[in-house]
Every structure is written in C-alpha cells, then in structure tokens.
Copies of this chain bind each other. A is one copy, B any other.
Amino acid sequence: MDIFRLDERLARDSVLITKLGLCQLRLQNDKRWPWLVLVPQRNGMSELFDLTPLDQAMLTFETNQVASTLKDLTGATKINVGALGNIVRQLHIHIIARNEGDECWPGPIWGQGTPIPYADDDKHDFMKKLGGAL
C-alpha cells in the first residue's frame, strides 16, 4: 500500500489533531473561526466521488461525528461543511463553526481576509478539548 502523502499547503496551513479511521483530523491555524479539516488518507483523490463507496460511508460518518462534536463544544449557530478544492486539489473537507456576527457572517469564509494564527497555548487547549470530546 502506498504511504499517504499530505498536500504541502494543507500541511503548512493546519496541524494534526488525530487520525480517525479514514481521515486525518486537522485544525486550520486561523483563530478567526473554529475550523477543522478532514483529509481522507488516500492518495490521488480530488472529488468526493473518487472515493470507494465504503470510504464514502466512512467519510460521512467521520464528518458528522466531528461536525456534531464541534457544534456541541462551541455552541455555534451553524456548522458549515464544504469540499471545494479549487486551489488545493487533494480531497479535503472543511468543517467550520459559525456564529452570527463572526468575520464574514453570513457569507462563506474561504479565501477571505488574512489568517490569524493561534497562540500555542490556545491551539493546544482547543485541540485537547476537541480530542477529549470526540
């Protein structure tokens, strides 16, 4: 089996929280929103439908598990889930906690403004809380 290779930009913009059955669960290093990224550990996939049916089912399960946990943890008004990939082609799914009045509300957040990196302590706190809740 091929070793999974993570896209360089995903590696640079986010940090690994944990590995689930199919996906790497990563935290986008932008504290403007609680923003997670799931990356199926499969090489050469760019569309959701490139995955096998079993992997599609796994991804659905992991997406919903993570999205539900993120909503509980943050008390967000709405969770945004998106698979775009116009810039980074490696298949990845964004899961973002949104609140009325947050930056860009009610519009989408991708490509907007300038990322604000977490302080190390805040990043670790959030990752620990999320890891514990999952």
Contact = CB atoms under 8 A, between A and B. Distances in A.
Interface in A31-86: 46-49, 56-57, 59-61, 63-65, 67-68, 71, 77-86
B85 A82 contact: no
A17 B110 CA distance: 29
A111 interface: yes
A4 interface: no
Contacts of A64: 48-49, 56
B106 A86 contact: yes
Nearest to A112: B107
> Which has the most chain B C-beta neighbours within 10 Å: A67, A71, A77, A106?
A106
15 contacts: A46-B78, A47-B67, A47-B68, A47-B71, A49-B64, A49-B71, A56-B61, A60-B60, A80-B84, A82-B83, A82-B108, A84-B108, A106-B111, A107-B110, A108-B111
